């Protein structure tokens, strides 16, 4: 399932993206995994990163981790819904941005149906659709 997010980096750069909701991406803090190209657009490479490793199915991948580097705002048809400060993980070869389980919770996203692409903001009745 995909949602639209506006990213505002502490570098002053911003962009809008479509990110996958990935409940299998577990993280202790709300985080987003970004492809290298988006991270470079946001000038995250100018910041100090922590090098760590992420378990991916059957292997480990080296990841650059930028703590609390981005404010993410969940959007739906131009409407700003919720905002969250996110850690950013950047890994070579990543194709699409991924929101972690704790980021999904922090944005108050409640999945109604993955297969139909339906979700809502926790506590609201309005059902929203996949981007």
Running along the chain, 131 residues long, what does each successive block of 10 average in pLDDT? 96 96 82 95 92 67 91 96 96 90 96 94 95 90
Q: Residue 106 CB: number of other CB atoms within 10 A? A: 20
- The strand pairing partners of 128, in sequence order, are 119
Q: Which two tokens stand for residue 85?
A: 């400060």
Q: What is the pTM of this model?
A: 0.90
Q: Enter the DSSP assignment of 92.
A: T
Q: Which two tokens stand for residue 38?
A: 């988006």
């Amino acid at each position: 399932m995909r949602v639209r997010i506006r990213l505002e980096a502490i570098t002053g750069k911003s962009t809008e993206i479509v990110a996958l909701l990935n409940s299998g991406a577990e993280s202790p803090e709300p985080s987003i995994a970004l492809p290298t190209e988006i991270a470079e657009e946001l000038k995250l490479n100018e910041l100090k990163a922590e090098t760590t490793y992420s378990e991916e199915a059957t292997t480990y991948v080296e990841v650059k981790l930028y703590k609390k580097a981005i404010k993410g705002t969940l959007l739906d048809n131009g409407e700003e819904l919720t905002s969250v400060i996110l850690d950013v993980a950047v890994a070579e070869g990543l194709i699409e941005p991924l929101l972690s389980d704790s980021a999904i919770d922090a944005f108050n996203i409640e999945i109604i149906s993955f297969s139909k692409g339906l979700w809502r903001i926790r506590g609201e009745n309005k059902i929203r659709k996949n981007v």
